[in-house]
Amino acid sequence: MVLDEAATSRADVPAAKTKKQRQTEVAKHRICDAVVDCLDEFGYAETSIKRVQARAGVSRGALTHHFPSKEEMMVETVERLLQPARPKSGVLKASSAEKDLLKLWARVVDTKEGRALVEILVAARTDKGLHARISPGLSRYNDGFNAEVVRLYESVDLDDGDVATLWTICRVFLRGLHMQERFDAKPGHTAKIMKRFAEIIGPHMRPREVE
Amino acid sequence: MVLDEAATSRADVPAAKTKKQRQTEVAKHRICDAVVDCLDEFGYAETSIKRVQARAGVSRGALTHHFPSKEEMMVETVERLLQPARPKSGVLKASSAEKDLLKLWARVVDTKEGRALVEILVAARTDKGLHARISPGLSRYNDGFNAEVVRLYESVDLDDGDVATLWTICRVFLRGLHMQERFDAKPGHTAKIMKRFAEIIGPHMRPREVE
DNA sequence: ATATAAACAGAACGTTCGGTCTGTTTCAAG
DNA sequence: CTTGAAACAGACCGAACGTTCTGTTTATAT
């Protein structure tokens, strides 16, 4: 949904001229989409190459050709997931921190792509190789996110550094909520907790005056 | 550290009279300790039976004898982990919610046992069989925890239900912080975030007057 | 038009996993 | 003392995994 067809054409790369290049791009796109599906549906441990292959509808050879290893496949998937999830993409509107936080949960975190990303993150905690590969991109994303929120908000209690801290707290909470969601069958429960949290942390930030 | 040698003797079960029973208890204890070690050190995915066996210093046959399946092994480990982690054990003192929260993090969550428990929890999200087995114990623990905090605290803003909600938020946050800790190399960072969070949510609860 | 390399297909490989199975030793009840 | 079951030891098994390898097709550069 975030990575729809339109996204392919508006790629930052010179847009794939030759047919072979287009083939490759399409194949990789299909495969990474399948990875996201599998991660969301089965979790990292159960996302085997065979399963991805079947879901993507490509042969074993094709998959191996584009991604020589599973790690490679995951790395590229993470990069694709990180790209549209940027706060720049317009999720944060700075009407109020409380509203933005709820929006961030609903539109970014609590989505198929958000859940898939967390699956990889969780796996990377204990997989050193994977961790090393995705760390740079993750840091870049976090830095960009922090810069964005500092630009949009100011702390009620302290300095600008506190805004970054507060949003880090929010990110940590959202990740924790993610874990809990897979346990709690009750659907309303998560929303209730999310709402109360936003209510509590929201007042500690205020939107900056537009210049 | 929570499950030290002393803990073995003060068991709630009639304390294992016959030698065979004692042997079994010792073996199981050694194995579950090894499971905890491996989970903390390598994560769930890398915690194979072979690894546990090696760490515990028992033969494959012995391990299989006491735990016919890996799932069985994990279930018993969870039960042992949940036992001493009870809030009843005296972690919460109700001097202030802020202090109790920091204590909860340092003495329960951010320990070898706490990390091991989260590993199993995370794995159980996508492992239906394991999930079904540990759910009851987990619910019991959560209920006990909620009852305890409601007994100790009252909400500043709302009713008693809110106290449970607030502490659920805390638990969610702690779980999220756990994830983040394995990424952030900087040691002080986690403590800083933890402190700020406690500072924010603490004032929403107040200790009940002692009766 | 032809050569070359990429895209693709699928068989084959070695490893590791969890589980089972066959023995041997040790304890305790009768 | 004998007997049976539990504690223990380790070999064995089939399945699944990720990777590697050998072909075949297809597109593009010369």
Looking at the structure, do residues B62 and B89 belong to the same domain, yes or no? no
Interface test mutation site (partner B, options A39, A71, A121, A122, max chain B beta carbons within 10 A): A122
Q: What is the pLDDT of residue A17?
A: 77
Interface test mutation site (partner A, options B155, B156, B172, max chain A beta carbons within 10 A): B172
Nearest Cβ partner for B45 among A45, A175, A176: A45
Question: What three-state secondary structure class fits B13?
Answer: coil
Q: Determine the structural domain holding residue A65 and report its residue range.
A: 5-74
d(CA B187, C1' C11) / Å: 50
Looking at the structure, do residues A91 and A64 belong to the same domain, yes or no? no
Question: What three-state secondary structure class fits B93?
Answer: coil
Q: Given the structure tokens 């699956």, which residue do they identify? A: A119
Looking at the structure, do residues A66 and A112 belong to the same domain, yes or no? no
Looking at the structure, do residues A90 and A48 belong to the same domain, yes or no? no
Q: Nearest nt to A64, CA vs C1'?
A: D19
Q: Is residue B77 part of a domain?
A: no
List the single protein residue with the shortest CA to C1' distance from D19: A69
Q: Is residue B147 part of a domain?
A: yes
A88 touches chain B (CB under 8 A): no
Looking at the structure, do residues B66 and B150 belong to the same domain, yes or no? no
List the single protein residue with the shortest CA to C1' distance from C6: A20
Q: Assign residue B58 the CATH number of its domain.
A: 1.10.10.60
Looking at the structure, do residues A49 and A105 belong to the same domain, yes or no? no
Looking at the structure, do residues B115 and B200 belong to the same domain, yes or no? yes
pLDDT tens digits in sequence order for chain B, 211 residues long: 333 333 333 333 456 578 888 999 999 999 999 999 999 999 999 999 999 999 999 999 999 999 999 999 999 999 999 987 555 566 777 689 999 999 999 999 999 999 999 999 999 999 999 999 999 999 999 999 999 999 999 999 999 999 999 999 999 999 999 988 887 778 789 999 999 999 999 999 999 876 5
Q: Is residue B78 part of a domain?
A: no
Domain end position, chosen among A74, A93, A117: A74
Looking at the structure, do residues B55 and B125 belong to the same domain, yes or no? no
Domain end position, chosen among B46, B72, B98: B72
Chain A nearest CA to B167, separation (Å)? 10
CB atoms within 10 A of CB A93: 11
Looking at the structure, do residues A112 and A179 belong to the same domain, yes or no? yes
Contact indicator for A40, A115 with CB cutoff of 8 Å: yes
B190 touches chain A (CB under 8 A): no
**DSSP of chain A, one letter per residue?**
--S-HHHHHT-SS----SHHHHHHHHHHHHHHHHHHHHHHHH-STT--HHHHHHHHT--HHHHHHH-SSHHHHHHHHHHHHHTTT-GGGTT---S-HHHHHHHHIIIIITSHHHHHHHHHHHHHHH-HHHHHHHHHHHHHHHHHHHHHHHHHEEESSS-HHHHHHHHHHHHHHHHHHHHHHTT---HHHHHHHHHHHHHHHGGGEEEPPP-
Looking at the structure, do residues B68 and B122 belong to the same domain, yes or no? no
Instruction: Give the count of domains, chain A.
Output: 2
Chain A nearest CA to B82, separation (Å)? 17
Looking at the structure, do residues B121 and B179 belong to the same domain, yes or no? yes
Q: Measure Cα distances from B114 to A156, B3, B128 in Å.
A: 34, 12, 22
Looking at the structure, do residues B99 and B56 belong to the same domain, yes or no? no
